[in-house]
Amino acid sequence: MKSRLLVSALLFSFLFVYSSSLWAQKIVYWEGGTPGMESNWNCPRNWSTNAVPNAFSDVIIPDVSTRSRVYPILSHKNAEVNKLTLESGASLTVQNGSCLVVFDSMERFGLNDLDVRGSVILKGNLAVAGSIIGSGFDYVLGKK
């Protein structure tokens, strides 16, 4: 009886840890440079996890000027992320017809470009050092 209880407790613990890791936020870095899809946000091989970020992803776009030299462009699609960080020297373009939803927070450090021609919907906090450029775009700040 005790061994059955022990096995049940261990199984429950394992399933709890495993299931919570499926839904936990994951840090995803932009790498870019996939041949033929160098700047495509929706190309899984352009990301450190080989998967396109989703609403549970904490996305970091670093300065890749010494590596792939290609920054992400979200083009004619929608994307959702938990958190977005643009490091100094980084760039992100959201083209017309595209929408980027950021659920938790968006941070920009140093000199970088956030070129918004589509929509960015921020449902959390914004920390900006620099400017946001664009024409004819929607930039919506809201609550969770």
Please report, for the chain, the start and end positions of each structural domain, with discontinuous segments joined by +: 25-141
- Look at residues 73, 65, 68, 75 and name the one whose alpha carbon lies nearest to residue 111: 65
**Does this model's pTM top 0.85?**
no
Structure tokens at 138: 């929607």
Report yes or no: 75 and 55 within 8 Å, Cβ to Cβ: no
Across the range 41-62, mean pLDDT stands at: 97
Identify the residue whose tokens are 């400017």. Answer: 131
pLDDT band at residue 19, thresholds of 50, 70 and 90?
very low
- What is the average pLDDT value for the chain, to the nearest integer? 81
Confidence of residue 2 (pLDDT cuts 50, 70, 90): low
**For range 125-138, the mean pLDDT:** 63
